[in-house]
């Protein structure tokens, strides 16, 4: 796991590499300036999952006082089924709790996430806090 400042091109690549299968589309309209603003925001943090020198996933965090939201988390589909998901989520949670003053790490999930995502979250002690219904048009 590597924690370092990302370049705009690397952040964009990871977002598409991990999220395309799961219909991550909200950042598709970002130009370079918007990407730079996002990844250089004061509360922004990230880690990259690297295997054999190759980036295979990432986690983005937004620091919010005593809590940290995992805003994006995932692995590329080419490494699904290798047993990395549970390990990487454990690392991501440990990293999230390592920020000064953090008492809670949380995330949003949805029915578009990977088929094992929720079980992975719950296996690491995360609990459902709230449920909402929201409709999204897929392109």
Q: pLDDT digit string (tens) for 108-129?
A: 877 667 777 777 778 778 787 7
pLDDT of residue 5: 85
Q: How confident is the model at residue 2 (pLDDT cuts 50, 70, 90)?
A: confident
Tell whether 137 is covered by a domain: no
Query: pLDDT tens across 9-43, in order?
Result: 999 999 999 999 888 889 999 999 999 999 999 99
Look-up of token digits 């390592």:
98
CB 101 within 8 A of CB 66: yes
Report yes or no: 73 and 90 within 8 Å, Cβ to Cβ: no
Q: Which residues of 45-58 are buried (b: 16+ CB within 10 A; e: fewer)?
A: bbbbbeeeeebbbb
pLDDT of 88 above 90: yes
The DSSP secondary-structure symbol of 78 reads G
Q: Can you give the pTM of this predicted structure? A: 0.86
In a domain, 128, yes or no: no
Residue 99's CATH number = 3.40.630.30
Tell me which residue range forms the domain holding 44: 8-123
Does residue 107 belong to any structural domain of this protein?
A: yes
**Separation between Cα atoms, residue 136 and residue 139, nearest integer Å:** 10
- Please give the residue that has the higher pLDDT: either 64 or 124: 64
**Does 139 map to a domain?**
no
């Amino acid at each position: 796991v590597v924690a370092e400042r990302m370049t705009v091109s690397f952040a964009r690549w990871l977002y598409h590499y991990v999220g395309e299968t799961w219909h991550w589309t909200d950042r598709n309209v970002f130009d370079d300036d918007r990407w730079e603003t996002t990844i250089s925001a004061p509360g922004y943090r990230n880690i990259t999952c690297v295997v054999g020198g190759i980036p295979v996933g990432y986690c983005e965090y937004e620091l919010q006082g005593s809590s940290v939201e995992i805003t994006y988390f995932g692995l590329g589909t080419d490494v699904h089924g290798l047993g990395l998901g549970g390990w990487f989520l454990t690392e991501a949670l440990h990293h999230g709790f390592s920020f000064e003053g953090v008492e809670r790490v949380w995330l949003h999930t949805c029915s578009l996430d990977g088929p094992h995502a929720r079980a992975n979250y719950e296996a690491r002690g995360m609990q459902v806090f709230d449920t909402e219904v929201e409709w999204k048009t897929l392109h």
